[in-house]
Amino acid sequence: MQRRDFLKNSTLGLGATALGVSTLGVSTLAAGPLVSPAAGTLTQTEAAAVNTAARPMIKKSLKYGMIKEDLSLLDKFKMLKDLGYDGVELDSPNDLSEKEILNARDKSGLELPGVVNSLHWKSPISDPDPKARTACTESMKEALRACKRYGGTTVLLVPGVVNDGITYQEAYERSQAEIRKMIPVAEETGVKIALENVWNNFLISPVEAARYLDEINHPLVGWYFDVGNILRYGWPAHWIEILGKRIMKLDIKEFSLEKQKNEGLWKGFEVELLEGDCNWPAVNQALVKIGYSGWASAEVRGGDRKRLQTVSEKMDQIFKA
């Protein structure tokens, strides 16, 4: 086999993996050195080309609330673009001028890939009060329309909460019923409803989460996978492999099981990206396996320009792992 044939076949094999097809050649590449039997070891440039093809293609975003600089909206967007971000996610509803948002988007070149519903904790769609459920559902409908105007593709929604006053079965049935009420507006706008795994005592198994979505059975309803949130009770790669094409976007954060154990549950989040217990190479491998090539949004401690630059750089390191 000549070097050019090896590169061609390797790239094709890696592309097949991105489509969910397993090949012996790709497994060999992942496990060992890049060597062609006839041509010898590949050059660094050639090896880099193959390794790049093996990584998920990720567009970087972050949550708007992470920005702690006293700047105009346009200057904030320009700063993010300068720091290497491709987009930023806003809450919906928010207190910003839509005209100003669209102007900042267009002049900075920063994308608005999606929005986060800001009522799903205060009035969850599992709430026993029908008025509370309706309030969240109506806010989701407006968020879907706002996201369409922004040029985004998803609205993040927490799919209900289970607690002493809300049983698991009630949360399951009520939340699915409310999501079905949102679907006509999702169809009208083309914007997707992306359910996130959070510490809400609900849908805490990837098999159950997949079944929940499959029962709704609509292409505009999927999953917004939060990598760090899972570490409390599971392994991110397992969730990625099971949810597969149901994953629409990613939230990126870290978690330390040691800090959780020694300092308290919520302290687990107080660790820098790449310094916790997330196995990022395994996450990347799982993303490649399911063919994911979309957005990843940082949801970590924000700050000034220097802090946001650090987050951007660490995200680059994560997806090179």
pLDDT digits (tens, 9 = 90+) for 243-278: 999 999 999 999 999 999 999 999 999 999 999 999
DSSP 3-state of 73: helix
For the residues 53-58, what does the mean pLDDT come to? 74
- Are 233 and 204 in contact by the 8 Å Cβ rule? The answer is yes
Q: Buried (b) or exposed (e) across 102-118, using 16+ Cβ within 10 A?
A: eebbeebebbbbbbbbb
Digit-coded pLDDT (tens) for 66-77 = 999 999 999 999
Which residue type sits at 249? K
Local confidence band at 53 (pLDDT 50, 70, 90 cut-offs): low
Query: Residue 54 — pLDDT band, cuts 50, 70, 90?
Result: low
Q: What is the mean pLDDT of residues 161-167?
A: 96
Q: Write down the mean pLDDT value for the chain.
A: 87
Q: What is the pLDDT of residue 216?
A: 98
Residue ranges of domains in the chain, CATH in brackets: 3-53 (no CATH), 56-318 (3.20.20.150)
32: phi then psi, degrees, rounded to nearest 5: -140, -175
DSSP letter, residue 94: -
Rounded average pLDDT over 176-196: 98
pLDDT at 172 over 70: yes
Dihedral sign, CA of 163, 261, 249, 143? positive
Three-state secondary-structure class, residue 62: strand
Q: 161, 147, 235: which is closest to 191 by C-alpha?
A: 147
For residue 146, pLDDT beyond 80? yes
Quote the CA–CA distance of 149 and 165 in Å, as a whole number.
37
**pLDDT recorded at residue 320:** 86
The pLDDT, as a whole number, for residue 249 is: 98
**Residues 264, 268, 272, 275: is their CA dihedral positive or negative?**
positive
More confident residue, 145 or 23: 145
> Bridge partners of 154?
114, 192
Distance separating alpha carbons of residues 68 and 303, to the nearest angstrom: 5
Q: Determine the straight-line distance between the first and last CA of the chain, rounded to whole angstroms.
A: 29
Region class of 202: left (phi > 0), else alpha (psi between -120 and 50), else beta: beta
**Torsions phi, psi for 247 (to 5 deg):** -75, 125
Q: What's the pLDDT score for residue 321?
A: 61
pLDDT at 5: 42
Please identify which residue in the block is written with the tokens 């996130």.
196
Higher-pLDDT residue of 178 and 14 is 178
Q: Rounded CA gap, 298 and 130, in Å?
A: 33
Sign of CA dihedral 77, 72, 68, 95: negative
pLDDT at 28: 29
DSSP letters for 103-168: HHHHHH--B--EEEESSTTTS-TT-SSHHHHHHHHHHHHHHHHHHHHHT--EEEE-----BTTB-H
The secondary structure of 239-261 as a DSSP string is HHHHHGGGEEEEEE----HHHHH
For residue 309 the two structure tokens come to 């630059």
Q: Are 203 and 159 in contact (CB under 8 A)?
A: yes
State the amino acid at position 164 in one-letter form: D
